[in-house]
A = this chain, B = another copy of it.
């Protein structure tokens, strides 16, 4: 299982968001949507072993966490408007501290980064923080021990604004390992693509690939 945690610094957490204005009034929700597509879609199928957690830190508060779960996901297409529409539905749910399913594979609750990372730590999951000065993931997959940790990793990324000081402190307090994906700073969604490609390569090299990501209803997720 791989988990991606994306910090949406301005992403709204209530009200009805406009699908025609995801970058503007929805607080750069387009960034979140692209991350969802990168994390879940492959050609003619979906990565069933991936969760993506969106930390929505924008207006009006309090913060919410929306989770897209590859295993149970339905009615999602790779375009931004499709994932935006499922986020819209999640934000209209009467949220609580307990996760509720808004549509198949999409869950919402009140919560924040600290709480979420605390849960992952209690589960003993290895945490990785995407950072320019981190260890190159393509080097890390060369070592079977590192590759095994990465395969079961929780990956924490900022959005277009990066990660602010308070959140960075929260992440560093967990002892997350810093990893990097290349020499240039790129979009969050592109980082996810590169992480998953590294993991695909590691699984292929180890002969553990092929837990067929294509499922009977995958043909509806075509690209």
Mark A residues whose CB is within 8 Å of B: 19-20, 22-23, 28, 30-31, 34, 37-38, 41-44, 77-82, 138, 159-160, 181-188, 190, 193-194, 197, 200-201, 203-204, 209, 213, 222-223
Within the assembled complex, what's the spacing in Å between the Cα atoms of A95 and B24? 33
> Are the CB atoms of A223 and B44 closer together than 8 Å?
no
Is A223 a contact partner of B81 (Cβ separation < 8 A)?
Answer: no
Which of chain B's residues have a CB closer than 8 A to the CB of A80? 30, 79-81
Once bound together, how far apart are the Cα atoms of A37 and B78, in whole Å? 14
Given A20-B81, A81-B80, A194-B193: A204 touches B222 (CB 8 Å cut-off): no
Q: Is the CB of A223 within 8 A of B182?
A: no
Closest CB of chain B to A57's CB: distance in Å? 16
Known: A41-B187, A187-B42, A223-B187. A23 touches B201 (CB 8 A): no
Contacts of A79 in B (CB 8 A): 22-23, 30, 34, 80
In the assembled complex, which residues on chain B have CB atoms less than 8 Å from the CB atom of A213?
184
- Closest Cβ–Cβ distance, residue A31 to chain B (whole Å): 6
Q: Within 8 Å CB of A31, what residues of B?
A: 78, 223
Distance A223 CA – B28 CA, assembled complex (angstroms)? 9
